[in-house]
Amino acid sequence: MVQQEIVVINAQTRDDSLKGKREVRRLRKQDKIPAVIYGKGRDSINLALSMSEFVKKYKSGFLSGHLIKVNIDGKDEYALMRDIQRHVVKDTVQHVDFQFVDTEKEIKVDVPLHFINESKCPGIKLGGALNILHRTITVRCFPQDIPEFIEVDLSGKMIGQSIHAGEMKLPENIKLELKEDDTTILAISSTDTDDTDSSKKEATQQP
């Protein structure tokens, strides 16, 4: 597991009375994106973000599921990105939603899973197929402890075996937010259908 770095996004407050497509066009001419930050029992704040800065960090994968320090007119606020709206044709960013977070309270967040040691997995070496059922996992932790990713070790896994959420190694400050620890993350399955079909035929031919 690698603990993520806190990402900084600069923002300015914008006039609450300016809304709709006209406001979006006005901001885009200024290389800006409309955004909002809300939650934690606080009034929402309408924001304007730098288009070039936001898109660069978003494409680098540094925003989704990461703790963000939003600098609003010189004042820092901690947040998570909760939604991003894109143009259906041009795929440009149209609007961004942030949620305030309290660094002294635990939150739920989805963390990517990285699957390692595939070369040390006997099941795959013998021709088995890696069936990944979950590529992210929901955890509960303090915002500053959100991991960049969690590793799932494939070492020693044979065909027919699987890895469950409860088997993953997590640090003490990270807790799984799942109803059941036996949620299957992945399975190594056989791709040899010929053997399976032959076994079925032999079974039916036995007296």
Domains, the chain, ranges and CATH?
Answer: 2-100 (2.40.240.10), 107-196 (2.170.120.20)
Q: What is the pLDDT of residue 29?
A: 84
| 16 confidence band (pLDDT: 50, 70, 90) | low
* Tens-place pLDDT, residues 52-97: 999 998 888 778 778 899 999 999 999 999 999 988 888 888 899 9
Q: Which residues contact 52 (CB under 8 A, 6 or more apart)?
A: 31
Q: How many CA atoms lie less than 13 Å away from 142 in the CB half-sphere?
A: 8
The reply to whether the predicted model has a pTM over 0.85 is no
| 15 confidence band (pLDDT: 50, 70, 90) | confident
CA distance 93 to 57: 13
Going by C-alpha positions, the residue among 79, 86, 32, 41 that lies closest to residue 59 is: 86
| 197 confidence band (pLDDT: 50, 70, 90) | very low
Q: Tell me if 177 sits within 8 A of 140, measured CB to CB.
A: yes
CA distance 132 to 113: 10
49: tokens are 């973000």
116: tokens are 């390692």
Going by C-alpha positions, the residue among 63, 71, 153, 70 that lies closest to residue 109 is: 63
CA distance 196 to 207: 19
> Residue 174: pLDDT above 80?
yes
CA distance 198 to 191: 14
Q: Tell me if 183 sits within 8 A of 163, measured CB to CB.
A: no
* Tens-place pLDDT, residues 98-157: 999 998 999 998 899 999 999 999 999 999 999 999 999 999 999 989 988 899 999 999
Q: Name the helix (H) or strand (E) containing 9.
A: strand 7-13
Interior CA angle at 6 toward 34 and 12, to 5°?
Answer: 25
Q: Tell me if 177 sits within 8 A of 165, measured CB to CB.
A: no
